[in-house]
A and B are shown apart, each in its own frame.
Chain A
Amino acid sequence: MAELTVAPKPAAPPSAPPAAAAAAPSALQRVLDALTVPVLSVLTAMIVGAVIIAISDDAVLAALPHALTNPLSLLGAIWNAVWLAYSSLLSGALGSPRDIVSALASGNSAAIIKAVNPLSESLVTSAPYIFAGLAVALGFRAGLFNIGAEGQIFAGALASAYVGYAITGLPWIIHLPLALLAGAAAGAIAGAIPGYLKAKTGAHEVITTIMLNYMIFNLSDWLLNGPMKAKGGNPRSPEIESSAYLPVLFNGLRIHWGFIIALVMAGLVYWFLWKTTLGFELRMVGVNPRAAKYAGVNITRNIVLAMALSGALAGLAGANELLGVNHYMANAFSPGYGFDSIALALLGKSHPLGVVLAALLFGVLRSGATRMQTIANVPVDIISIIQALIIAFIAAPAIVRWIYRVRAARTTEREVFTRGWGG
């Protein structure tokens, strides 16, 4: 042993690093910090949405020329328009609280079902968002931008539809898991291909996944007009066997077991990312590939694994819709879940809990939109506008921070969305 001829050190470090002297923020503080930008983004998007609703409302436009002489009528018209729109959005999504309470009090099951139906519909709409949001979030965690979620959803739906109608005579306990597995596997393959290309050749996943999307859409078109076509004139698949259905949770409501499976998946993704060695490596590759390489992580394997798992989750989104809601495959079955899920993952900060909350929000928005259109005469497209604004505000948090004068908290994990273009 070399002699350590050093004079004894004083008890307190004489030149303690300034950064270490700052206390680590408490858990509550960190949660609040994390929620600030997403919540403010949603709020701001709703405000802009309100402005658009107001200026396209007839009553408001009529009151506008008299704004200076009769400002109150203008404000009243604006308030009416926005209130009607958003309240019908909420009641369309969640049902009216009064009806729910009185139905529960009366104990009449038919009344309860009617009162709770909007909420059930919102959850049905949320389920595929949860799966797809988890898919994109998992990709982000590995530093990969999976825009192929939509194609992977289609792949999953096609595969599970096929297993659902082509195999007969199986009990549900085998048929249903098999169909789900087929959906996940198809999505995994659709994800692994761009993953492998990125790992081996550096081909950026944004390009390859978009291209693969188109390939899958066209494949679906051909399949539904050809080999997978049901009898009759429309380009759709046959109905699946009832043994492959995702059963409903309560008779009379459409909410089905797929929603529960989605929540379970969120828990699984959390466990995978933070409690396993695979997740440890995957996050390392996302945050610092150089250090990952130094630590001995196989970068190629992790990129392919991340894209495959991401694809599998998206495939399950497709399977969920098919086995739980539609029970047959047609080309129009997805209103763009895969693309909305990118906004979702961003809003949920790529964390399973955030994704679930964001998915519930999006489910509420989409579900309530039809009622908003019927009652308040506001086109459903306003929801797409709001969703797009949410993405814009999340992608450029500085805007929200500047508007509300919120100082940026020192975030611990900087979100990396993608790398590979000279970076």
Chain B
Amino acid sequence: MPPILELHGVTKRFPGVLANDHIDLTLNQGEILALLGENGAGKTTLMNILYGLYHPDEGQIVVRGQPAKLTSPQDAIALGIGMVHQHFMLVPVFTVAENVMLGVEEQRYGVLDRQSVARHITEISSQYGLLVNPNLYVKDLGVGIQQRVEIIKLLYRHADILILDEPTAVLTPQEADDLFQVLRNLKAQGKSIIFITHKLREVLAIADRITVLRGGKVVGTAEPAKTNSAELARMMVGREVILSVNKKPAQPGEVVMAVEDLNVLDDRKNLTVQGVSFQVHAGEVLGVAGVQGNGQTELVEALTGLRPAAAGQVSVAGHDTTAATPRAIAELGVGHVPEDRQADGLVLSYPVEDNLVLNEYYRAPFAHGIVLDERAIEAAAVTRAKEYDVRTPSILVPVSNLSGGNQQKVIVAREFSRPLKLLIASQPTRGLDVGSIEYIHNRIMAKRDEGTAVLLVSNELDEILSLSDRIAIMYKGKIIDTLPAAGATKEALGLLMAGVHSRDELAVQLQVEAGLAEPPTPAEVKAA
């Protein structure tokens, strides 16, 4: 049977960069193809071309044996191609049904026909196992359920070829398993799926075939049965990559940071961090695990002085820092690698050299009084960039020119270049390629072995398991458990990240979230 989708020599150029270099790709009907590659390898560009958002400079796209000209997403949808983007395109204040029918509304005498849409959705739901209550507002749904709505949107528009861009980025391990089950259902019903990711294990778990992109080119294809993580990583990066960090046993010393009963409010005055208490010792890594949106962001902001604490106490090296300014906290020897490197950690329009001294520009040797010492800044910047392997054409270009990995290295270089008692690293490898992840993990371990206390906040369970000595799990603003890392399993952590302690509890919770069951009464919870 001929492939349902073929790309021949697809090429796309942007000013200064060849994003896709004569790419050949085939997708067979009823298969799951994984598109694997680091950030910047060209995966999303290629899929945007397939979805009609970009026009290729060269090359041909053949859909079901016919050459196709895709000038806009409408053309793609008409051909049965649908895409679920990494950042969902849902309207939070609309219901599920309204979101699904947006753009292809069904009408009855000029009035929106919500009933038939809801019926249609229920049919799709039961056919493909994507259960959800069509009348719920999207903003009230969990991320995993929102993703189901995105997939339903595609099926509602009769998509046969589904493209999923980094779908597990925001899911717990259990939610990812559920998604894979859904994908297998779709496959069984004849759908063809392209799955974009940089996560090696997932690719081996779900894909029928794997195509690896690097630097805009296809560097190889593989079948999961015949390959392994190490080989795939080598294809993605171009060299041998060690996937786990060699960790010496921790030698924890005295308490460096003590948090007691911390309460923090978010921008909408909701209590996002409730009664959190923990301690971080010198020479150990405390990992805070949890799915995005359970209070981790606000917790780190409160600890670093960027957000006021509503109640509780924070102390660093014996000093009370509950109400301290960010600069005062930094001067106590606290380094902070922020979650959102472009919004918080860097001034994008400033040159690389200025960003490399962003935390110390105001004192000697970088300034004398109020006058900046440009030569000292330049010298320090050159040294730091070299030592931390920041790849940049020059330190004078705006830091926005650098790739995500190198931007993160700028932040790491800056924070690590002074004596640190405590390092707070929040999502330190988000959006980075395997090579940069490896580098930053090694640097963090090095600091920990030097005796720095490390607080690692991350949504990536692999990262937490790999680096932490102790693991605290955050769920809905509380630390619901703290375990030693030795012996912690992904299964157990995944359940805790969803706020439950067993698989049965999880099943019930998912039903509740999807609007298909009432929350259990306290008596029922106790009985379980």
Contact = CB atoms under 8 A, between A and B. Distances in A.
Given A278-B370, A291-B347, A412-B349, A5 B242 contact: yes
A276 interface: yes
A19 B344 contact: no
A7 B404 CA distance: 23
B403 A20 contact: yes
B215 A15 contact: yes
A17 B16 CA distance: 11
A280 B361 contact: yes
A15 B238 contact: yes
- Of A19, A23, A290, A297, the most chain B CB neighbours within 10 A belong to A19
B17 interface: yes
Contacts of A275: 371-372, 374
B354 interface: yes
B378 to A, nearest CB: 14
A192 B367 CA distance: 27
B450 to A, nearest CB: 8
Contact of A20 (B239, B371, B391): B391
The bracket for how many chain A residues form the interface is: 35 or more
Contact of B392 (A2, A18, A20, A296): A20
Given A15-B435, A16-B391, A294 B16 contact: no
A291 B349 contact: no
A17 B350 contact: no
Contacts of B327: 296-297
B18 A18 contact: yes
Interface in B240-258: 240-242, 245-248
Given A15-B435, A277-B361, A1 B449 contact: yes
A296 B330 contact: yes
Interface string B329-341: 0100000101000
Contacts of A16: 215, 391
B516 interface: no
A20 B406 contact: yes
A129 B118 CA distance: 64
B391 A13 contact: yes
A17 B326 contact: no
B240 A19 contact: no
Nearest to A412: B398
Interface stretch (B103-111, B144-152, B438-446): B438-446
A24 B397 CA distance: 7
Given A7-B240, A17-B403, A412-B398, A277 B362 contact: yes
Contact of A18 (B16, B240, B306, B358): B16
A284 interface: yes
Given A24-B397, A277-B362, A18 B17 contact: yes
B237 interface: yes
Interface residues of A: mostly helix, strand, loop or mixed?
A: loop
A277 B239 CA distance: 43
A115 B343 CA distance: 57
B40 A17 contact: yes
B347 A284 contact: yes
B393 A23 contact: yes
Query: Which range contains the number of B residues in contact with the other chain?
Result: 35 or more
Given A2-B445, A280-B361, A10 B372 contact: no
Nearest to A275: B372
A5 B246 contact: yes
A372 to B, nearest CB: 41
B303 interface: no
B122 interface: no
Contacts of B242: 5-7
Q: Which of A15, A276, A412 has the most CB of B within 10 A?
A: A15
Contacts of B40: 15, 17-18
A287 B403 contact: no
B495 to A, nearest CB: 30
A110 interface: no
Contacts of A414: 349
B463 interface: no
Contacts of A7: 239-240, 242
Interface string A3-15: 1111101100111
A68 interface: no
A294 B354 CA distance: 14
Contacts of B401: 19-20, 22, 24
Interface of A: 1-7, 9-10, 13-24, 275-278, 280-281, 284, 287-288, 290-298, 410, 412-414
Interface of B: 14-19, 38, 40-41, 214-216, 237-242, 245-248, 304, 306, 325-327, 330, 336, 338, 343-350, 354, 358-359, 361-362, 367, 370-372, 374, 391-394, 396-398, 400-406, 433, 435, 438, 442, 445-446, 448-450
